[in-house]
């Protein structure tokens, strides 16, 4: 998909589906977009498609209560054919608009407050210790993605969802395929068939789990009670259960993987945090800023929006907000490509979104990342990448690490 420029400032076209861009270092492209064409109109024809890259515009659009997750009068992308994936999207709390979104979010929000997250801190710390012990059982070498980052969320999510521990590997095996549901680009028939297969698996799994559970979690009790009272459909119940798994796993897995990569590639970073553990909360915000698990999000405008450069995006437009570009905007974050765990405004990142759709599990994600970073810094004096540069999944929205083989050297404790 090539981008047509909406300002007179010349800049090379940007292909958002180019594998070299998707799997590589995006910082140069992001800077060129911010500097030369911060508001662009996409040139496919049909609907009004736009892209914004500066922090101020990304923040304004994401916080705008008039921004929608779906086009006005439509509850799903027109290219998504009838099937499980369409049912899942229509019932998805994260993809619904008001007033449905407020109703769905209100049912589960009390379980994701900062206080609730703190009550799970001990479990998060225990999970980091447990999974690092298991990862290094045979040697000092391990895959930071599969052996650590993908395992840490298991304990917390078991308490929220109630799935048996032995089901974990099966549940996360197809998670990456599910993320196709958030694609800003139309899926072909093969992709849609795979997506429907994956969604059908999750619907069946959670349906069976809720039917057979003897001691439901608080989340399950709330959802089942709301269904009995007629406040939720069964699809909405299943969708929320899967949303908690999906969001709780993917964000945490990618953020922990990114943190390990930073420890392995930024000289002195591990030493700095080990010497002063009080830096950990700020370090986590800096990691979330510089290496966000989510690089883009979508909104549909209900009213015209005039960007800071004077370009007006018309009502009804589909807008792709580049979180990765906003988080490295030097207008907000001086020297944005430098990792600075003492950066005072790192928490101004847009990683968790904003407004009505601010990430519900942000506090819980922070707790898990803080405890894992703390354990890594306490335990290791050095982390090195083995086998060459790490590879990322070529996804515009979720460019997570595919694998990260590292060798960790124990510190003198």
Residue-wise pLDDT for 286-315, tens only, equals 999 999 999 999 898 989 999 999 999 998
Q: What pLDDT is attached to residue 2?
A: 39
Q: 72: pLDDT confidence band, cut at 50, 70 and 90? A: low
Superfamily for 3-410?
Cytochrome P450 (1.10.630.10)
Q: What angle do CA 363, 364, 369 make, to 5 degrees?
A: 100
**pLDDT grade for 385, boundaries at 50, 70 and 90:** very high
Residue 3 pLDDT exceeds 70: no
Q: What is the pLDDT of residues 89-129, one digit of tens each?
A: 888 777 777 888 888 888 899 999 999 999 999 999 999 99
For residue 384, pLDDT over 60 is answered with yes
Q: What is the pLDDT of residue 230?
A: 95
In sequence order, the 6+-apart residues with CB closer than 8 A to the CB of 151 are 127, 131, 134, 135, 168
- 22-54 pLDDT, tens digit each: 877 899 999 999 999 999 997 655 566 899 999
Distance of alpha carbon 276 from alpha carbon 272, whole angstroms:
6
pLDDT per residue as tens digits for the range 312-356:
999 888 899 999 999 999 999 999 999 999 999 999 999 999 888
Q: What is the pLDDT of residue 239?
A: 93
Q: What is the pLDDT of residue 413?
A: 59
Q: Looking at residue 8, what is its pLDDT? A: 37
Share of residues in the chain with pLDDT > 70 (%): 92
Is the Cβ–Cβ distance between 321 and 297 less than 8 Å? yes
Q: What is the pLDDT of residues 145-172, one digit of tens each?
A: 999 999 999 999 999 999 999 999 999 9
**What does the pLDDT read at residue 1?**
43
Window from 80-89, 110-119, 214-223, 361-370 with minimum mean pLDDT: 80-89
Residue 9, pLDDT above cutoff 50: no
Q: What is residue 252's predicted lDDT score, i.e. its pLDDT?
A: 96
Residue by residue, what is the 3-state secondary structure of 201-265?
HHHHHHHHHHHHCCCCCHHHHHHHHHHHCCCCCHHHHHHHHHHHHHHHHHHHHHHHHHHHHHHHH
Residue 43 has what pLDDT?
64
For the chain, domain boundaries: 3-410
Tell me the mean pLDDT in the region 192-220: 94
Q: Which residue has the tokens 């994701």?
A: 112
Q: Is the pLDDT of residue 21 over 90?
A: no
Cβ burial of 288 (10 Å; 0-12, 13-18, 19+) is: buried
Burial (CB count within 10 angstroms: exposed 0-12, middle 13-18, buried 19+), residue 366: buried
Using pLDDT thresholds of 50, 70 and 90, give the confidence band for residue 219. very high
Name the least confident of 7-11, 19-23, 33-37, 240-244.
7-11
Q: Please report the pLDDT score of residue 6 as a whole number.
A: 42
> What predicted TM-score, i.e. pTM, was given to this entire model?
0.92
> Two tokens at 136?
């290094």
Pairing outcome for strands 391-392 and 380-385: unpaired
pLDDT greater than 90 at residue 17:
no
pLDDT of residue 11: 43
What mean pLDDT value characterizes the chain?
A: 89
| Inter-residue contact 250 to 157 (CB < 8 Å) | no
Tell me what pLDDT residue 113 has. Answer: 93
Q: What is the mean pLDDT of residues 188-197?
A: 91
What span, in angstroms and rounded, lies between the C-alpha atoms of 402 and 392?
A: 5
**How does residue 73 score in pLDDT terms, banded at 50, 70 and 90?**
low
Q: What is the DSSP string of 117-155?
A: HHHTHHHHHHHHHHHHHHHTSSSSEEEIIIIIITTTHHH
Which residues does 285 contact at the CB level (< 8 Å), separation at least 6?
343, 346, 347, 349
**Per-residue model confidence (pLDDT) at position 323:** 97
Asked if pLDDT for residue 258 goes beyond 60, the answer is yes
pLDDT of residue 75: 59
The pLDDT of residue 47 is: 61
Ordered DSSP codes for 322-366: EHHHHTT-TTTSSSTTS--TT-TTGGG--TT--GGG--TTHHHHH
């Amino acid at each position: 998909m090539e981008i047509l420029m909406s300002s007179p400032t010349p800049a090379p076209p940007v292909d958002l589906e180019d594998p070299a861009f998707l799997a590589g270092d995006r910082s140069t492209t992001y800077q060129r977009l911010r500097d030369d064409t911060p508001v662009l109109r996409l040139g496919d024809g049909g609907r009004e498609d736009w892209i914004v890259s500066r922090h101020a515009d990304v923040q304004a659009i994401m916080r705008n209560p008039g921004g929608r997750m779906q086009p006005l009068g439509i509850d799903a992308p027109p290219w998504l054919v009838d099937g499980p994936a369409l049912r899942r999207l229509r019932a998805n709390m994260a993809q619904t608009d008001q007033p449905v979104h407020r109703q769905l979010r209100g049912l589960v929000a009390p379980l994701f407050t900062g206080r609730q997250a703190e009550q799970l801190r001990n479990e998060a710390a225990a999970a980091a210790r447990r999974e690092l012990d298991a990862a290094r059982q045979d040697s000092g070498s391990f895959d930071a993605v599969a052996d650590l980052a993908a395992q840490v969320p298991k304990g917390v999510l078991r308490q929220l969802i109630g799935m048996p521990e032995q089901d974990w590997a099966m549940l996360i095996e197809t998670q990456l395929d599910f993320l196709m549901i958030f694609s800003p680009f139309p899926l072909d028939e093969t992709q849609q068939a795979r997506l429907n297969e994956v969604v059908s698996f999750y619907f069946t799994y959670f349906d069976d789990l809720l039917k057979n559970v003897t001691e439901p979690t608080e989340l399950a009790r709330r959802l089942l009670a709301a269904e009995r009272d007629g406040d939720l459909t069964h699809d909405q119940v299943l969708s929320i259960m899967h949303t908690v798994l999906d969001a709780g796993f993917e964000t945490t897995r990618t953020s922990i993987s990114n943190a390990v990569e930073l420890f392995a590639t930024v000289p002195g970073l591990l030493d700095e945090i080990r010497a002063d553990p009080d830096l950990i909360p700020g370090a986590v915000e800096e990691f979330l800023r510089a290496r966000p698990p989510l690089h883009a999000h979508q909104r549909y405008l209900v009213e015209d929006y005039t960007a800071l450069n004077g370009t007006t995006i018309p009502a009804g437009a589909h807008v792709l907000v580049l979180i990765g570009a906003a988080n490295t905007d030097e207008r907000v974050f001086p020297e944005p490509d430098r990792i600075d765990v003492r950066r005072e405004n790192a928490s101004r990142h847009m990683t968790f979104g904003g407004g009505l759709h601010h990430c519900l599990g942000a506090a819980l994600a922070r707790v898990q990342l803080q405890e894992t970073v703390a354990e890594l810094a306490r335990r290791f004096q050095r982390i090195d990448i083995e086998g060459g540069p790490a590879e990322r999944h070529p996804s515009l929205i979720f460019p997570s690490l595919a694998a990260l083989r590292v060798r960790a050297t124990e510190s003198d404790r």
